[in-house]
Amino acid sequence: NAGVTQTPKFRVLKTGQSMTLLCAQDMNHEYMYWYRQDPGMGLRLIHYSVGEGTTAKGEVPDGYNVSRLKKQNFLLGLESAAPSQTSVYFCASTRTSRETQYFGPGTRLLVL
Amino acid sequence: GNSVTQMEGPVTLSEEAFLTINCTYTATGYPSLFWYVQYPGEGLQLLLKATKADDKGSNKGFEATYRKETTSFHLEKGSVQVSDSAVYFCALSLNTGNQFYFGTGTSLTVIP
């Protein structure tokens, strides 16, 4: 039981490049979330999904897209990376919206 | 709206000192309340939670009581250890809507 895993752990991009962050969970959770963590700002919700094939915007969705084609996977895409997207990205999943969230180990992204 | 406010850090304590990290919330409904801990280089993990008024969550010597009258969920520990050095996040979720709301985090450093 691996819990929540994230790929890659670290990435450096040049401005304008694209990439996809992968989140996978093996707990059969319906809800999945993508957050970014920046110094002094805590966690900010980018997008979330309440089930396979569904996605919704969070607090800071601009510049990101997501897909949930399979229940266990939640992908976060950056189409044209900007330095403002330099951050640590966390994925989380939960069975229902009132229960404990389980977090992945994070992806550090540096955009030059 | 829904939000969580927690005391700003960083907090530095000597080993065996008493810890309090304040957390207050604003919620449009009846929330569940959580404390998460983030150790250096890791994702967040649940420390404790409470789902209704006057509930006390506890784990690893940490405690927090859900106080509806003061809309608070303060984290306490009677005697901190060096291994408690981490960032602590207060969070809430509602049974309406699908999001979690996090505070900005409080960094704790415990010195021997």
Q: How far apart are the first and last CA of chain A?
A: 36
What is the per-residue pLDDT across B31-42, written as a single tens digit (0 to 9) for each? Answer: 999 999 999 888
> Distance, in angstroms, between B41 CA and closest chain A CA?
8
Contact across the interface for A4 and B43, Cβ inside 8 Å: yes
The answer to whether residue A101 neighbours chain B at the CB level (below 8 Å) is: yes
For residue B29, pLDDT beyond 90: no
Mutate to test the interface with A, among B44, B66, B106 (most CBs of A within 10 A): B44
Q: Which residues lie across from B58 on neighbouring strands?
A: B63
The answer to whether residue A19 neighbours chain B at the CB level (below 8 Å) is: no
The pLDDT assigned to A110 comes to: 97
* DSSP symbols for A42-103: EEEEEEEESSTT--EE-SS-TTEEEE-SSTTEEEEEESS--GGG-EEEEEEEESSTTS--EE
Chain B residues near residue A48 by CB distance under 8 angstroms: 98-99
Q: How far apart are CA A104 and CA B44, in angstroms?
A: 8
What is the per-residue pLDDT across B81-103, written as a single tens digit (0 to 9) for each? Answer: 999 999 999 999 987 777 889 99
The pLDDT assigned to B1 comes to: 84
Ranking B12-21, B44-53, B54-63, B92-101 by mean pLDDT, the lowest is: B92-101
For residue A1, pLDDT beyond 90: no
Chain A residues near residue B49 by CB distance under 8 angstroms: 100
The residue to which tokens 């915007």 are assigned: A57
For residue A30, pLDDT beyond 90: yes
> Distance, in angstroms, between B93 CA and closest chain A CA?
6
CB-closest option in B51, B99, B104 to A41: B104
> Distance, in angstroms, between B71 CA and closest chain A CA?
18
Contact across the interface for B100 and A50, Cβ inside 8 Å: no
The pLDDT assigned to A62 comes to: 96
The pLDDT assigned to B19 comes to: 97
The answer to whether residue A88 neighbours chain B at the CB level (below 8 Å) is: no
Residue A67 CB contacts under 8 Å (≥ 6 apart), including other chains = A55, A74, A75, A77
What is the per-residue pLDDT across A54-98, written as a single tens digit (0 to 9) for each? Answer: 999 998 999 999 999 999 999 999 999 999 999 999 999 999 878
